[in-house]
Amino acid sequence: MAAGPWPTSLDVGQVICLGLVALQHRGQESAGIVTSEGTSETHLNVKKGMGMINTIFNDENMKKLKGNLGIGHTRYSTSAASEEVNCQPFVVHTVHGVLAVAHNGELVNCDKLRKQVLSRGVGLSTHSDSELITQALCLNPPDGEEDNGPDWPARIKHLMQLAPLSYSLVIMMKDRIFGVRDAYGNRPLCLGKIVALNGSTSPEEGWVISSESCGFLSIGARYVREVQPGEIIEITNTGFRTVDIVERPENRSLAFCIFEYVYFARSDTIFEGQMVYSVRMECGKMLAREAFVEADIISSVPESGTAAAHGFSREAKIPFAEVLCKNRGNTIGPIVKLLKDAGAKAVHVRIASPPLRYPCFMGINIPTSEELIANKLDNMKLATHTGADSLAYLSVDGLKKAVRLNIKNTKEIGHCTACLTGEYPEPLEWILSAYAATRPQLLSPSSILLTTASGVGIWGVNPSSASSWLLSAAHLVPLKKATITS
């Protein structure tokens, strides 16, 4: 968003493109940019396509993305297919004007919300939950609206009450942008300001909002703060303001995705007042305390493992050395073989993360439990499988301690560890719904509802494979034998 007066001298399209390049690690399937000149209720400038940023946005395309404000998106699919029709931002034309939405995350109650939208006579052209969000914003809020136009903050709040998680959103109208983060804070979102090159005393040239702060330096922006969980921020050419904050249900804690620290985010990004690099280094130190091993050198599989390797090296007082180039692949078996072929007498694998054991329904593409290797092999068998001399993971408690060590605001801290522990931030019902949507073959007519010590679940037999399974509050567990007592 360029600061006023408009038209601006700031190349908004180019700023967004550079910002997307810095966020390319978050998605490589497709990308898009939508800009507005701030004057037309019916027209936005749009360019979207499949592939990497540098293949989609050339000089000719960029010339068409004129405007005083705009939003962009780089996609990695978790639910809808990897097709051009699902490229974001989504643009819809409403009776109140044109609207563009970009979404990071995944709606956990997508099926329920889809039925509500369709029941209002709204058509959907894709299976993307991001399009669903866009169309849901076109619905009137339950309390109605004044005659002088739509109440967009009320509509956004209504959407947030319908869909508890997981999302961070940027929503653009003709002359304003809303930044939105779900009440659990599951997906990241932060605010920055573009400043002039001639010093900090000059007024800001514009405002930016992004999933990560790592791209701010490349566009001449300074980090301001995170968008708070449940917060709705409105940005115009005069600045930004908080228009509302949606509260979580009672007795529910924050659930910022801990996997952002482990792998997903770029190391120079700031979350919760601390740099991701420092957290990964602390994970390495914690791992050295938990799973020390005698060695001559410590090395890493770049890039996300490098900071942790430095931390392990410092704590273990074993020198760090660069051994692998970035293009040597990221599968541990071939890497172990490569190192031994190069003369290593022993290779000990230390992973600065707990093992992934459960699927994620909130925006990270993690397979089902039975497809994850940590549920099939223990550490010793996994070391044998990869050819390593030993293998160890960081514990969940160790990861939590590393993440929370330097968080300044300790008043309220909460992290989602669902993929590590099976403890999801919302109740069981939507997990069952998510399985029904993504794996309907598992829900047979013989499925029954039962109550276990850990809560409500579904038990059934898959006729096609004659296998028993139990869907509990934590995860889907194949059973060799099941006994039900009433």
How far apart are alpha carbons 418 and 475 in whole angstroms? 10
Does the annotation flag 110 for ligand binding? no
Whether 365 contacts 77, CB under 8 Å: yes
Quote the strand ranges of 56-156, DSSP E: 69-75, 90-94, 97-105
How far apart are alpha carbons 178 and 151 in whole angstroms? 12
Q: Work out the angle between the directed axes of helices 129-136 and 152-162 (0-180°, nearest 10).
A: 130
Q: Strand 274-275 and strand 270-271: pairing?
A: antiparallel
How far apart are alpha carbons 344 and 484 in whole angstroms? 53
How far apart are alpha carbons 108 and 118 in whole angstroms? 18
Q: Which residues fall within 8 angstroms of residue 474, CB to CB, at 6 or more apart?
A: 358, 421, 422, 423, 454
How far apart are alpha carbons 138 and 374 in whole angstroms? 44
Does the annotation flag 419 for ligand binding? yes
Does the annotation flag 190 for ligand binding? no
How far apart are alpha carbons 139 and 137 in whole angstroms? 5
Integer Rg of the chain from CA: 24
Does the annotation flag 17 for ligand binding? no
Binding positions for [4Fe-4S] cluster: 257, 360, 416, 419
Binding positions: 257, 360, 416, 419
